[in-house]
Amino acid sequence: MIQVTPLAGALGAEIGGVKLATLQNEQAWQEIQRAFVEYSVIVFRDQQLEPADLMRVGAKFGEPCFYPFVTGMEGYPYIFEVVKEETETTNFGGNWHSDTTYLKQPPLATLLYAVETPTHGGDTLFASTRAAYDALSEGMRRTLDGLVGVNSAGLKYGGGRSAMHRNIGGMRVHDTDSADQFEAEHPVARTHPETGRKALYLSRGHTIRFKDMREEESRPVIEWLQLHQTRPEFTCRVRWAPGTLIAWDNRCTQHNAINDYHGQRRRMRRLTVGAQTPQ
Ligand code: SIN
């Protein structure tokens, strides 16, 4: 019923043949769910989604989640706009990460819908942390299987708090001074509840150290794993146009919003769903 066109070897697929705002067919939704689990990043083109439609699409993946540092849209508190104005040079999400890993129950999926896009640039990169885990040596996998990561919103290493929170004038940020207090421990090798497969679940920006280890002991390994998990063969790159919707699986991917379109405006609507305790 739906058309699925893979984007790259490790992850990503474009889904054609559906208009999500009016899609009623349960079988088509099940096929979309299957594609989400198989490809981890699914891309829909030429959609027309008002905020209420985006909420309905998101509900197919899970209950909506609040983002702790940005105020939602009027009447839609779970959706906020990711904006970079023509005059700004920093962007939101411009470093490799999985969303809000500093929460005890991070969202399983993020939905991002493009409203205004630059003429060129502003693409988003995605990486399969499942493919990255699979490519590790047996000894490294065994070591990581026993480790727990301490994840913080403080952005001590990478991203930079100013980039994320202070200089983004087009976005309604709040409570950013309390970022250091958002901390959560999660397994470094996370098991996907639907596939049973493991994926790396740590990032340079958010994972400060491993539990029961010092930062200076942990950092070199975290830095190496960050480079490893974003090797080109584990990635895909998606170009946006107004009406593009991407849904990604935070349990087995990272993403990075490329900041290469200074002087042009980019405006997206973002919704996270499906709070889940990483296992
Ligand atoms: C994000 O990290 O959630 C934003 C990604 C993007 O704007 O492409």
Which tens digits make up the pLDDT trace of 211-257?
A: 999 999 999 999 999 999 999 999 999 999 999 999 999 999 999 99
Encode pLDDT of 39-49 as tens digits. 999 999 999 99
Q: Which ligand 1 atom is the nearest neighbour of the CA of 268?
A: 7
Which residue, by CA, sits nearest to atom 7 of ligand 1?
257
Q: Which ligand 1 atom is the nearest neighbour of the CA of 270?
A: 3
CA of 239 to the centre of ligand 1 (A): 12
pLDDT band of 54, cuts 50, 70, 90 = very high
pLDDT at 159: 58
Of the chain, the percentage scoring pLDDT greater than 90 comes to 86
pLDDT at 163: 45
Q: Which of 79, 82, 91, 117 to mutate to test the pocket of ligand 1 (most atoms within 8 A of CB)?
A: 82
Encode pLDDT of 147-194 as tens digits. 999 999 887 766 554 445 555 566 777 767 677 788 999 999 999 999
pLDDT at 162: 44
CA of 212 to the centre of ligand 1 (A): 32
pLDDT at 71: 86
Is the CB of 82 inside a 6 Å radius of any atom of ligand 1?
Answer: yes
Is the CB of 271 inside a 6 Å radius of any atom of ligand 1?
Answer: no
Is the CB of 246 inside a 6 Å radius of any atom of ligand 1?
Answer: no
pLDDT at 171: 75
Task: Provide the residue type at 242 as one letter.
Answer: P
- Comparing 167 with 106, the larger pLDDT belongs to 106
Q: Is the pLDDT of residue 6 over 90?
A: yes
Which 3-state string (H, E, C) describes the chain?
Answer: CCEEEECCCCCCEEEECCCHHHCCCHHHHHHHHHHHHHHCEEEECCCCCCHHHHHHHHHCCCCEECCCCECCECCECCCEEEEECCCCCCCCCCCCECCCCCCCCCEEEEEEEEEECCCCCCCEEEEEHHHHHHCCCHHHHHHHHCCEEEEECCCCCCCCHHHHHHCCCCCCECCHHHHHHCEEEEECEEECCCCCCEEECCCCCCEEEECCCCHHHHHHHHHHHHHHHCCHHHEEEECCCCCCEEEEECCCEEEEECCCCCCCCEEEEEEEEEECCCC
Q: Is the pLDDT of residue 72 over 70?
A: yes
pLDDT at 174: 72
- Residue whose C-alpha is closest to residue 125's, from 50, 237, 2: 237
CA of 228 to the centre of ligand 1 (A): 21
User: What's the chain's average pLDDT?
Assistant: 93
pLDDT at 260: 97
